[in-house]
Amino acid sequence: MMNGVGSTLRVPSRPGLFPRWRLAAGLALAAGLALTSPLARAQLKVGDPLPALSQYALEGNLPSVLGGRVVVLDFWASWCGPCKASFPTLVALQNDFGAAGLTVLGVSVDESRAAYEGFVRKHAPVFPTVRDAEHRLVKVVRAPKMPTTYVIDRHGVVRHIHEGYHGDTSAKLLREQVSALLAEKP
């Protein structure tokens, strides 16, 4: 095998150098650890149920009723430019579909209460926002970037995930997905 500088790299192939059973046992152990690690199982995926938000010590007022409603759960941070750009879309969704059964819920991952409060004052969302100051929920969900938006059906199941915000493309897709979920029978 060539190593990229013209010389040949030799890989030892003597039996007994690394017995196959040790390799198999090591791979099995690594796979087992990956499957039993809380982080390996924690990422919220399409088809997963939304965890009970009340167990994560979120600061602020969670909506009293989410069951039976379509939920747009948006993770954001005050320092995130795309998060700022997404807020008008989230406000429009809440305004347009709230009476039909949609709840938009913003979850800030800001460590600073002042940064969170300043963002909320400036952007004045018409939907509830909470702060995950200790990052308990975001560690379980493992949102891959800010913002990450989860679209959840009336049964509490994640149906769509949006990583980042891409302007009109994201706005149109979110609107279509929310409309479709609201049209489904409860």
With the CA atoms of 168, 128, 65 and 76 taken in that order, what torsion angle do they form, in degrees rounded to the nearest 10? 60
- pLDDT tens string, the chain, 186 residues long: the values are 444 444 333 434 444 444 443 444 443 434 443 333 333 334 899 999 999 999 999 999 999 889 999 999 999 999 999 999 999 999 999 999 999 999 999 999 999 999 999 999 999 999 999 999 999 999 999 999 999 999 999 999 999 999 999 999 999 999 999 999 999 987
Q: What is the predicted pLDDT for the residue at 92?
A: 98
Helix axes 167-183, 81-97, angle to 10 degrees: 30
Q: What is the predicted pLDDT for the residue at 146?
A: 95
- Angle, CA 55 vertex, CA 54 and CA 56 arms, to 5°: 95
Q: What is the predicted pLDDT for the residue at 104?
A: 98
Rg (CA), the chain: 22
- Domain ranges within the chain, ordered by starting residue: 14-42, 53-183
Tokens representing residue 28 in the block: 């099995």
**pTM of the complete model:** 0.77
Tokens representing residue 30 in the block: 């690594």
* Residue showing tokens 């994201």: 170
Q: Which residues pair with 59 in a beta bridge?
A: 131
Domain 53-183 has CATH 3.40.50.300: no
Q: What is the predicted pLDDT for the residue at 3?
A: 42
Amino acid at 159: R
Q: What is the predicted pLDDT for the residue at 38?
A: 37
Q: What is the predicted pLDDT for the residue at 185?
A: 84
